[in-house]
Amino acid sequence: MESKNTLPLNIKYRFFVDKFCNWFQDGKPITHKGIYSYNYKFLKIDEDRNFYVQEGKSKAFVKFEDKPFLVQSVDISRKNIILRLNDSSAENLDLKTLYFLNNVPYCTVKNKKFEARFSRPALFQISEIIEERNEGFFIMNEQIKLLNH
């Protein structure tokens, strides 16, 4: 019997993605920007939280070392925080989804379907607006969740 969050024994990962969102197919780095973009365009997640790229009617499963997306940089204004992601997209940061795990910031992206890890440059950018108060850390009056596992 299969347990949740596992693949059937006969399915192998076709792709591996390291924590910096570098993709590898069958052990070889993917350097072609078009293939990289294609993989993100068709990246999906199933009910068991297995990631895959839909290729026609077949699925090519993806193993992520950390999170599927990387926040490369942050644009900060008085009203919002724009995240620049590794797939060349940009979106507003939902502060309610921001959390720190072992001093690394994460948040949800893509309509809360996926999670993103902040790169070091993005961490330094967002750290400029983090306020420390008696009751914890805040950005724009929203408390930041700190998790250490």
Domain boundaries, the chain: 15-64, 69-147
Across the range 118-127, mean pLDDT stands at 96
Distance CA 52, CA 43 (A): 6
The topology under which CATH files domain 15-64 is duf1285 like fold (3.10.540)
Q: Above 90 in pLDDT, residue 72?
A: yes
For the domain bounded by 69-147, which CATH number is listed?
2.30.270
Return the percent helix, strand and coil in the chain, to nearest 5. 15, 45, 45
pLDDT at 47 over 80: yes
Which stretches within 1-148 are classed as H helix?
33-41, 120-127
Copy the structure tokens of residue 28: 């070889």
* Predicted local confidence at residue 8, as pLDDT: 53
* pLDDT class of 6 with cuts at 50, 70, 90: low
**What's the predicted TM-score (pTM) here?**
0.86
In the prediction, which pLDDT does 1 show? 38
- 77-115 pLDDT tens trace: 888 999 999 999 999 999 999 999 988 999 999 999 999
Give me the mean pLDDT over the 52-75 stretch: 94
**Cα gap 37→66, rounded to integer Å:** 19
